[in-house]
């Protein structure tokens, strides 16, 4: 779909094959400041360093709307030849298509690649009518998927305004569960621990003490400093890569990506570096914005007791408290996060299926799955470590 006039709203739709073909200031004006992952610089770094493209199975396909002032709205969209790196799993849908001798791939995915963090997907210029422009952008996404003969379109990790827009457009919606931490104005990590039950507070302190007794201390490195220390960034990346290799595959992100993102995003990249006798032994990689810290990757040279929990969770919480950051999203999965203070949070995605018979089958599946997700979140909520919140919000907090 090269162009399509939406005359009633004076908007023209166009698909753009590289973020470099979109003006950085105009894109960032749509994306806002909350999410580092939606920044033009982040998406450009993915393209420039080989993380995206035909070989990676992520072909940039940005759906845009323009008016007389320039870029009016956009969606970070990619034509996919597989379902890896999405964290909203549809492998069984692809298998069902195959059994029916239908082609599931390629498909369209609207998301930030390799990033299971909730954020804007229908990016709209602030001066425009939000609901109407979102509807126009959804129409453009559907038209693009249709013009490319794609089986489906999938919009992942939706914020609330976008979720409502897709529901109005009669897309199928899906629920999942992550574990997030909320900062209730804690003055220190110890004050935060005082909200735990005695048993859970004792366990958290014991975990932190074991790391300290192993002679491990932490340094905080921001992107602007890491850019000036390429050998240290090499070491951080080696820790990260080793974690992926232990699971049998190369990481999604390249060493070149981290070098470019340290330059381009600067202090929105943060690394907690674990040192023993002054030598790096582990690292946890984070990104952050004004309202949220996002835990993304981690690696260590050896299996030190409790080091993963300290580097990836306790250190992140402490960073949020120090900086007054409201929310900490440490990534996907992991019930072990609950005893460290993370609570079940419902995440959402939207799905447009071309084949009407398959669409109905998916709809029925999602209804059953959603009920199970809600029940799971309610059960997990009863195990949070807080003295006064175990029984609160039994359905899980909503994102």
CATH of 4-177+345-398, one of 1.10.10.10, 3.40.630.30, 3.40.50.720, 3.40.50.1860: 3.40.630.30
Q: Which pLDDT value is given to residue 252?
A: 96
**What values do phi and psi take at 29, rounded to 5?**
-65, -30
Is the CATH number of domain 184-325 3.40.630.30? yes
Q: How far apart are CA 277 and CA 56, in angstroms?
A: 39
**What values do phi and psi take at 278, rounded to 5?**
80, 5
Closest CA to 230 of 241, 221, 218, 242: 221
In sequence order, which residues have a C-beta less than 8 Å from that of residue 83 and are 6 or more positions away? 89, 90, 91, 94, 107
Q: Which two tokens stand for residue 224?
A: 């602007």
3-class DSSP assignment, residue 221: strand
Q: Which pLDDT value is given to residue 31?
A: 94
pLDDT in tens, the chain (399 residues): 444 444 445 899 999 999 999 999 999 999 998 999 999 999 999 999 999 999 999 999 999 999 999 999 999 999 999 999 999 999 999 999 999 899 999 999 999 999 999 999 999 999 999 999 999 999 999 999 999 999 999 999 999 999 999 999 999 999 999 999 999 999 999 999 999 999 999 999 999 999 999 999 999 999 999 999 999 999 999 999 999 999 999 999 999 999 999 999 999 999 999 999 999 999 999 999 999 999 999 999 999 999 999 999 999 999 999 999 999 999 987 889 999 999 999 999 999 999 999 999 999 999 999 999 999 999 999 999 999 764 444 444 444
Q: Which pLDDT value is given to residue 389?
A: 61
Q: Which pLDDT value is given to residue 9?
A: 59
Domain boundaries, the chain: 4-177+345-398, 184-325
Q: Which pLDDT value is given to residue 360?
A: 96
Q: How far apart are CA 2 and CA 147, in angstroms?
A: 10
pLDDT for 137-154, tens place per residue? Answer: 999 999 999 999 999 999
Judge contact between 149 and 156, C-beta under 8 A. Answer: no
**What values do phi and psi take at 72, rounded to 5?**
-100, -35
Q: Which two tokens stand for residue 119?
A: 């954020």
Q: Which two tokens stand for residue 393?
A: 């919000």
Fold agreement between 4-177+345-398 and 184-325? yes
Q: How far apart are CA 238 and CA 271, in angstroms?
A: 13
| Residue 47: alpha-carbon gap to chain centroid | 17
Q: How far apart are CA 352 and CA 188, in angstroms?
A: 45
**Angle at 17 (CA atoms; ends 12, 23), nearest 5 degrees:** 65
Q: Which two tokens stand for residue 37?
A: 């992952």
């Amino acid at each position: 779909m090269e162009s399509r006039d939406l005359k009633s709203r004076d908007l023209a739709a166009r698909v753009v094959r590289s973020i470099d073909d979109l003006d950085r200031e105009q894109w960032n004006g749509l994306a806002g400041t909350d999410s580092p992952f939606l920044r033009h610089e982040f998406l450009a770094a993915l393209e420039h360093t080989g993380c995206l493209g035909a070989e990676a199975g992520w072909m940039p396909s940005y759906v845009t709307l323009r008016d007389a002032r320039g870029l009016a709205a956009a969606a970070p969209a990619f034509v996919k030849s597989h379902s890896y790196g999405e964290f909203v799993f549809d492998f069984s849908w692809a298998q069902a298509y195959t059994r029916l001798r239908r082609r599931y791939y390629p498909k369209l995915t609207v998301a930030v690649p390799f990033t299971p963090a909730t954020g804007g997907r229908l990016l709209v210029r602030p001066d425009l009518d939000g609901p109407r422009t979102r509807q126009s952008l959804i129409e453009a996404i559907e038209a693009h998927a249709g013009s490319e003969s794609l089986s489906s379109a999938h919009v992942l990790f939706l914020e609330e305004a976008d979720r409502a827009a897709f529901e109005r457009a009669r897309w199928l919606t899906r629920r999942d569960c992550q574990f997030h931490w909320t900062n209730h104005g804690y003055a220190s990590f110890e004050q935060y621990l005082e909200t735990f039950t005695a048993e859970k507070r004792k366990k958290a302190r014991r975990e932190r003490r074991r790391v300290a007794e192993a002679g491990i201390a932490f340094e905080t490195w921001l992107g602007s400093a890491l850019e000036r220390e390429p050998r240290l960034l090499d070491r951080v990346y080696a820790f990260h890569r080793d974690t992926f290799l232990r699971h049998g595959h190369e990481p999604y992100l390249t060493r070149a990506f981290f070098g470019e993102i340290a330059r381009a995003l600067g202090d929105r990249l943060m690394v907690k570096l674990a040192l023993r006798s002054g030598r790096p032994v582990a690292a946890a990689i984070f990104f952050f914005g004004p309202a949220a810290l996002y835990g993304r990757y981690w690696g260590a040279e050896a299996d030190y007791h409790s080091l993963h929990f300290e580097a990836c969770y306790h250190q992140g919480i402490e960073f949020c408290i120090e900086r007054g950051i409201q929310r900490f999203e440490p990534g996907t999965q992991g019930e072990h996060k609950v005893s460290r203070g993370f609570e079940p949070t419902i995440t959402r995605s939207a799905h447009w299926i071309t084949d009407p018979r398959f669409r109905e089958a998916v709809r029925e599946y999602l209804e059953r799955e959603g009920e199970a997700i809600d029940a799971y979140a309610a059960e997990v909520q009863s195990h949070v470590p807080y003295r006064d919140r175990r029984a609160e919000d039994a359905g899980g907090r909503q994102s």
